[in-house]
Structure 1
Amino acid sequence: MMVQAGWGAAGLLVLAMSHMPVAAQSPTIPVDDSYTVSSRFLANQAAHPDYRLPVLTTVAGQQILFDRLYKTVGGRELHSDVFLPPAETGSGQAIVLVHGGGWHSGNKSNFYSMANLLAQRGYVVVLPEFRLAPEAGYPAGVIDVNDAIRWTMSQAAEFGIDPQRVAIGGESSGGQMAALVAYTGGSTLFSGGSDRAPSVNALIDIDGVIDFTTPLALANENRNDATPAARWLGGSWEQAPDRWREASAATHVGPNSPATLVISGERDRFTAGMEKVLPILAAHGIPHHHAHFADQPHTFWLFQPYTSQVVAEIDTFLQDLQPAQTAAP
């Protein structure tokens, strides 16, 4: 079933539902439900009593398109949820956001609150599901994200966006994946059978590892071959060093890398490699910015008042990248 939400003339949220054919034999998909907004809220509530669970409040003219099919692989459907701004406020910029969860868990709904607020600032926000490690290891999910970007660009006319202005972002493991996709855009890596992977105009990495091979990342991600990273990559650093290097976004940064915003909390381990990448971007004159939220633990962006603050950082950064307006003669 497909659900499309929008505001009617009476100011009421209207849901239009249409039934889609269901495959006779759908594949069984293993699910790890350990990473949720509620579980992270409970883990941080005592130390951060100011945290508030997200509440979505839409505005007139805004639309939310649920479960739009963007890809089918081996009988498996992959969908995106799309948050559209009111038509008169659209900026033409799209953002594809990749949820976190240690490459094993999480859901596109984790980003609903942030996507809703970004849409109200004029952005089209696409939240794809992708294959997680219990279903398919590296690099399946990375290829899926590239296909979600490609699909977003193909929907430019419907969504009211410029296909040259599609950004990729993510949180935690999703930030790592977003950085890897951003810095390998335009190459044959993770292209999913196409000649080249799509290129994006910006990266938004929220607490995502940028270089697995740094001592800091290895100390946390390579404690044994059962860490989330090792399970996703199919082995420890000692067992699969080439794969760990390839999966490190810092390996691929260069003169054609997109503008980059890194958002971090209290622990540097989650953005390991940033200290290597930002100077390279600076040397090539590529816009970049680091927004640090001191004393905030990992996943702080899931909760208010910080969701709104992160959205403001993203908006400010992307506003600076907008094409210059030419005055009418």
Structure 2
Amino acid sequence: MKLLRFIILNILNLLICLSCSIESVDIDNNHDGLNTTEAYQKLDISYGADVNQTFDLYLPAGRTSSTKTIILVHGGGWTSGDKSSMSYIKDLIQLEIPNIAIANINYRLADSNNPPYPMQNNDITTIINYLKINKVRYSISDKIGFIGTSAGGHLSLLWSYAFDTNSNVNMVCSIVGPTNFTDPAYLNNTNPELQPFIDAHGANPTIAFLEEISPYHQVTSNAPSSILFYGGQDPLVPPSQGTDLRDKLLSLNVNHQFILYPNEGHGWTGLNLLDTWTKLKAFILNNL
């Protein structure tokens, strides 16, 4: 009963806070003088010619040059998906960690002529460069965190471990994101339903290429704080994808947290979802 009351109160608080934020949001009208005492949002900011090269930006009221940004990266097997699927995480951050800026991003989707790597990581780089260029105007710092789900978890980890040449990433979260494409569970797969997911980066790739696109093989002792959530019954991302990266982070002495829900699959709801947010919120507060 106490838990149910807690959930209901959070939902009510969320609705109240969101309705209040709508009244105080400063919508961009292409002017440079942004009022930092008010919340600000700009939706579908274009950063390229492709229809999917857009992102939504949410800036908190009272922001300063020390305000950090969390980048949300949606899933969809690298070939589908949309930033709207991350709206619930955006809402939770705005409600419970209101001093953080948020960029909820889309990226170019892969197809037979356009492989996901390095295209999608390059899109993330372009967005981060945009935020850096505009950090004075937006009154934010260049320090960032990532939250990614499924393919978005993979992209978040890979960018943080292999593309963050300026050490701007303070923390990264992967929720059921693939980490190691040389995992025997993938290399020796016999499940025809899983194979399209594995083949998204191309059929018959070399081991060297698979290592290049695997966070497990790219992580170093300089990696940012990492939190990993996985399901023990996931048909797409076996738990070894999480446990192997956990062990690698431990061997490198990288600050990390690993959570496995033994009876969950490729995502979950209910009490385990509440547990995920509780742990993720604490990790953000301690590491971003």
User: Shorter-chain TM-score category?
Assistant: 0.7 to 0.9
Aligned to 2:144: 166
> Displacement, 1:308?
4.8
- Stretch moving more, 217-226 or 104-113: 217-226
Q: 2:206 aligns with which of 214, 218, 240?
A: 240
Percent identity, aligned pairs only, is 21
Q: 2:105 aligns with which of 125, 128, 134?
A: 128
Evaluate the alpha carbon distance shift between residue 276 and residue 65 of structure 1 in structure 2; reply closer, same or farther with a 3 A threshold.
same
Aligned to 1:260: 226
Show CA shifts across 1:78-121 (max 9, x none): 21112333327998221111100111111011001111211221
> Displacement, 1:204?
0.5
Consecutive unaligned residues of structure 1, counting only runs of 5 or more, are 1-5, 20-60, 187-195, 323-329
Aligned to 2:181: 212
Q: What is the identity, as a one-letter code, of the residue corresponding to 1:145? A: I
Evaluate the alpha carbon distance shift between residue 226 and residue 158 of structure 1 in structure 2; reply closer, same or farther with a 3 A threshold.
same
TM-score (norm 1): 0.67
Instruction: Establish whether residue 66 from structure 1 lines up as the match of residue 43 from structure 2.
Output: yes
How do 1:218-233 and structure 2 match up within 5 A? 218-220=187-189, 223=192, 227-230=196-199, 232-233=200-201
Instruction: Report SS of the residue matched to 1:292.
Output: strand
Show CA shifts across 1:241-267 (max 9, x none): 332221111111111111110012233
8 Å CA contact 1:81–1:126 kept in 2: the answer is: yes
TM-score (norm 2): 0.75
Aligned to 2:61: 86
Aligned to 2:79: 104
Count residues in correspondence: 260
C-alpha distance in structure 2 between counterparts of 1:227 and 1:148, whole Å: 28
Evaluate the alpha carbon distance shift between residue 242 and residue 141 of structure 1 in structure 2; reply closer, same or farther with a 3 A threshold.
same
Q: What is the identity, as a one-letter code, of the residue corresponding to 1:115? A: K
8 Å CA contact 1:209–1:272 kept in 2: the answer is: no
RMSD of aligned C-alpha atoms?
3.5
C-alpha distance in structure 2 between counterparts of 1:117 and 1:89, whole Å: 21
> Displacement, 1:13?
7.1
Aligned to 1:137: 115
Q: 1:288 aligns with which of 227, 250, 256?
A: 256
C-alpha distance in structure 2 between counterparts of 1:159 and 1:257, whole Å: 27
Show CA shifts across 1:13-71 (max 9, x none): 7685869xxxxxxxxxxxxxxxxxxxxxxxxxxxxxxxxxxxxxxxxx654421112x2
Larger helix percent:
2
